[in-house]
A and B are shown apart, each in its own frame.
Chain A
């Protein structure tokens, strides 16, 4: 499985560039244009990340995160879910930058290649900012009532939580 992971980035990069050259796209000029957009979008999310990283680091330093974990530990252990990942699962539907900030601060102490670290990674990589998407898309057409969107979307988020642990156990062992 690790082998497959190694192949993904080089294969995608080479495939895209080869296809681009076959289609006579000026690949380097186009790459530069895209990279410039990437740079400006990294910079544009920086203020949100600064605010949320500050918030998350404060929660950690004040001991609040430890208290929350201690409170959740029995339930988490019963479910087989790593307790460190619970605050992340709770924050994920509300804030993308907040989740990045929290995952980064968890990785200060937890190796990304440990069981907990992998669950955190999979959780982060396979979910979206649910409430943001609902607000943006319905907001764009001036609809206030979103019907059954949120219960359905949150079902998905809950499955992400449970399935992250299951997938990590299945593919990596414990």
Chain B
């Protein structure tokens, strides 16, 4: 999908620049854009490393494990038909905890482990069940408690209060997650697998 989007961006830019006579600016953009990515990554790397370093301490000291144990009963409700003490629920809880803390690197492998465990417990079915779909819907929503990456990006561009958007992010994330799961719930009973 991204292949088409990226190709499309370049093609549209070329055609547009040709039509409006901005080929000079376009040429400059090619050279500048790529350099800008490097500058941005380097200038954000300090904060990103600080954050992943802190999260590693959180992980090693058991915060992740404690949080995911607190989370497990709620996750059990989200995934109907799976054993409450099974691998699926435990991996899903760990994935959700990693997402809450913003440990993206850990969240994806844990989420994949949860999907595989669900597929194993639910063997013999070609189609995903309600639990799997709810779990993926949850992962398409953002539940990160501290929007470090966005705040760091804001700081790079001169924000005097990079984290001031955090409460707004909480409200919006909660609204979006509720809407997505509710819509999922509505469609669950009406969807015809075709």
Residues of A that sit less than 8 Å from B by CB? 1-2, 4-6, 8-9, 12-13, 16-17, 19-20, 22-23, 25, 27, 30-39, 41-43, 45-46, 49-64, 67, 91, 93-95, 98, 100-101, 103-105, 107-108, 111-113, 117-118, 121-128, 130-131, 133-138, 140-141, 143, 145-149, 151-153, 155-160, 163-164, 167-168, 170-172
Beyond A2-B164, A42-B48, A112-B159, whether A62 also contacts B17 by CB under 8 A is yes
B175 (CB) vs chain A CBs: closest residue: A163
Question: Which listed residue, A19, A56, A145, A159, touches B33 by the CB 8 Å rule?
Answer: A56
20 contacts between A and B (CB under 8 A): A1-B167, A22-B61, A23-B62, A31-B53, A31-B57, A32-B53, A33-B53, A35-B49, A59-B9, A104-B157, A112-B154, A118-B165, A125-B147, A137-B111, A137-B136, A141-B115, A143-B119, A153-B140, A156-B180, A171-B171
How far apart sit A154 and B12, CA to CA, in the bound complex (Å)? 26
How far apart sit A155 and B33, CA to CA, in the bound complex (Å)? 32
Q: Tell me how far the C-beta of A146 lies from the nearest C-beta in chain B, rounded to whole angstroms.
A: 7
Contact B61 A19 (CB under 8 A): yes
Contact B115 A62 (CB under 8 A): no
Residues of B within 8 A of A (CB-CB), count:
102
**Secondary structure dominating the interface of B:** helix
Residues of B that sit less than 8 Å from A by CB? 1-2, 5-6, 9-10, 12-14, 16-17, 20, 22, 25-26, 28-30, 32-34, 36-38, 40-41, 44-45, 48-63, 105, 108, 111-112, 115-116, 118-119, 126-128, 132-133, 135-137, 139-142, 144, 146-151, 153-154, 156-169, 171-173, 175-177, 179-181, 183-184, 187-188, 191, 193
Question: Which listed residue, B105, B128, B173, B181, touches A147 by the CB 8 Å rule?
Answer: B128
Report, nearest first, the 7 A-B pairs whose CB atoms are least far apart.
A34-B56, A156-B180, A38-B52, A57-B33, A61-B29, A125-B147, A35-B53
Q: Tell me how far the C-beta of B108 lies from the nearest C-beta in chain A, rounded to whole angstroms.
A: 7
